[in-house]
Structure 1
Amino acid sequence: MLTAASLVCKSWLPLAQHLLYRSVTVIQYSPAHILRIPGTFTTEALLQRSHLLGFTRSLSIHVHGRSTATLPPFSEDDGPEGSREYVRIPEFFFLFAHTPQLRYVELSVDLAQTNLNIGQFGPHILGWLSSLVLPIEALDFDDWGLFHSTFVYDLVCIWPTIRALRVFTRYDGLPLERPSINLRELKLPIPSLAAAVIEWLLPPPPPNEQPNLQFLELYDISAEARAALSVHGPNVSTLTLWCQPAFEIARLFTKLEELVIAGPLWRSLRIRLEDKLRHNSLSVSQVLGQSFPSLRILCWGSRTL
């Protein structure tokens, strides 16, 4: 409707473009009905209309790791067999350069079909990305291949304005440089996550300042990670865990208002509170009330208490 209206009334065109292209999804070789969704482009179509990225605040792209900076923009072997949503790495950089007001980045990197390491692009590429001075506030990063690269951690370093971060990668080789970020939201739904990653992403706040972290999601919490969380935990209002019951970490999160157990809740609880559960099923809520006096919402799986 906005597109049709802008064709009838030219003065509406800037407003229509601002609304239509505020959020852009970049795909490749997609069915025609998908491409009719506003803000959805194939790589080639968006490159031909890159001026539209000036309206974009949210960008969702899928990087195809088999491409390199020396390959042509398009070739017959784009993407692994069966793939439909890939962007070659040259276009990935090009898109960022034409999106000066970018706030939110959803980035999926798939290197499963190759031994290519994104890190091989070298410091000059990261330096160039840093020179763009993008006002990134939220980064959602998925690694769909087991690749050994500090790429996502490098992005965190060159985008210090990030306040919300979701990372899914099993690589825990961290850069020497620590980021100067002050996260409000951190999501790390990764099994067997090294405590060093949490410590690196949650540096201590500057002197005389309080931590800013309010929303935290973890697969579980190891004993090694508790030291890092002891600084930021008291400020967390919403905690999501996939594996570990919250009773073991109640002292770390004293101001919780919402607790979400996304995975099995009672696996450890049966061991620790077996007698209470046998006599009174409501004792679980009583224990929660004692551990988290500010708690207002408890969820696990699809249920809410």
Structure 2
Amino acid sequence: MPSQREMLGDRRGAVRLLLLASLLGLALGEVGDFSPCLRFFHGDAPPTGLPAGGRLTPVCQRFKNQYRFASLYDRQRRAPLYSAYLLTPAAGKRPKTHWKYEPQLAFSRGNPEMQVLPKTPDQNVIESQAVLPDYSNSTYTKGHLNPSLHNYDPDDRKATFTLTNVVPQKKGSNGGPWARLEEAVRARLGAFCLGPAHVITGFLPYASGQRWINGRVAVPEYMWSAYCCPSYSASLPRGARPFLPTYAAVGRNDRDSGEEIVPVDPAAKGSGRGYDVRQLPLADLEGVLRQRLAPNVSLFQGQCAGPPPVDPPRNPTGMF
């Protein structure tokens, strides 16, 4: 029978192993816990007050042995409820890369990194998450929550092309008003934000009568986004002052939706008509989310409190 000293030594050894595994991202894993990738959230704190349940799974999106962003994945809807990331504005064309999936959603001991989707996915993968055929023969595009143009590093950009980061989005929105919003946010934060800018972009389901593509992937009625830039230039032009340190937006993904959340511009023309985007203060977006998702939603710890604005460096590049 082992002595008390030996038993204590075994316990200490086990604690050391668990600590080492945690530091390496092994004990907690990339799926089921945000602990390895808290840096993507302001104050290292994920949003609070969102619906709890086993179907909502935290995913630390890992690619080429690095965490790139974080997503809260809804297994039932086979779509992310939101993705959270650090905006580092990119320039250049959309990267050429393969669509990926998350092995650990399908297998508890699966590869900790996102993998390229095979032509014929395993049945466990098909059951656990969206696959490319889900989007085939539908009227929806694969809409990024974390868009590649909000990422500077080439591998960060490639990592956004995973189906755990996209939702069914109408082409008129994805290539129209929502695309213009993404560009406006990229330009605004690139010009005036002097430190990490935290962005959370998400899925707002229908209040009733959920819509699906191919009977498998839920369609958002609206898309929403909010950012937090706690450190920004004191020398803001008047037009930019209302947009910092936080601002938000809601975009229509259904032309036939009512106008109580986002009004329709009657003068809009072309394929983007009816897919309007409403920019609004963070508190107003949280009010919408509290009505449609959960009563106590809070996206940023301390509502993005930070130091006072500071003067920008000489010859700012707009990059972080």
Q: TM-score, normalised by structure 2?
A: 0.26
Structure of larger gyration radius: 1
Greater RCO structure (CA 8 Å; 6+ sep): 2
Instruction: From the two aligned structures, give the one with the greater helix fraction.
Output: 1
